[in-house]
Amino acid sequence: MGRRKFYDISVSLGGESIDYPGDTPYQRKMVQTFENGDLCNLSEITMSAHAGTHVDAPKHFFEEGKTIDALPVEKFLLKAVVVHVQNSVSVEPADLEKVTVQSGEAILFKTRNSTEGLIEQGVFEEGFVYLTRKSADWCLQKGVGLVGIDYISIEKYGCGSSPVHRKLLKKGIPILEGINLKSVPAGVYTLYCFPLKIRDGEGAPVRAVLMD
């Protein structure tokens, strides 16, 4: 058996990561440094729970929804299908006609958000590729275990009612946002995306990795 290949599909906070409009901007400040004669280097971080590569839990949109710490860890270690979507505007059901995904598996959408570098440019871009309501329905019909996309939000920008988030999270399906799939070929992988265990959290940063 050959050696496994790993793909780090996370964006770096403070470098590549994007602050969604209205969210608390990511900031890291040094509190102690060797340069100032301190015993160690020590920093503090201010950020949204939805900064960079992160997972949304049902609590994000539903008061009685499960929180990050209440979701079982096996939801974040699962088989994943990476789908390369050529549509430059949105992910539509027509883009998924030839996709095979089994119940409980993750589906990750690779779009021009990755291939054109939008996800790693550090600046918010309104015209990112998003998941449509009908494609969210497709995911529900397939019984997927997790849905991921290569931008800071899965939702069309300016869509105030957030129907895609609501459709998926209502069924207890975590949403993985802010992944970078630029170097990942379409195919089947094992996904590791364990979120920080934040008590009562509606979302949390993750280090997302694919293994072929």
In a domain, residue 95? The reply is yes
Distance between CA atoms of 125 and 157, rounded to whole angstroms? 9
Residue 167 domain boundaries: 6-22+48-211
pLDDT at 42: 98
Distance between CA atoms of 148 and 207, rounded to whole angstroms? 13
In a domain, residue 29? The reply is no
pLDDT at 84: 98
Q: Report which of 91, 140, 81, 136 is spatially closest to residue 111, judged by C-alpha positions.
A: 91
pLDDT at 180: 98
pLDDT at 3: 81
In a domain, residue 205? The reply is yes
In a domain, residue 167? The reply is yes
pLDDT in tens for each of the 212 residues of the chain? 568 899 999 999 998 999 999 999 999 999 999 999 999 999 999 999 999 999 999 999 999 999 999 999 999 999 999 999 999 999 999 999 999 999 999 999 999 999 999 999 999 999 999 999 999 999 999 999 999 999 999 999 999 899 999 999 999 999 999 999 999 999 999 999 999 999 999 999 999 999 99
What the block records as the tokens of 202 is 């509606």
Are 203 and 175 contacting, i.e. CB atoms less than 8 angstroms apart?
Answer: no
Strand partners, 149: 109, 177
In a domain, residue 91? The reply is yes
In a domain, residue 154? The reply is yes
In a domain, residue 201? The reply is yes
Other C-beta atoms within 10 Å of 137: how many?
14
**pTM for this structure?**
0.97
Structural domains in the chain (count): 1
Say which CATH number the domain at 204 has.
3.50.30.50
pLDDT at 141: 98
In a domain, residue 28? The reply is no
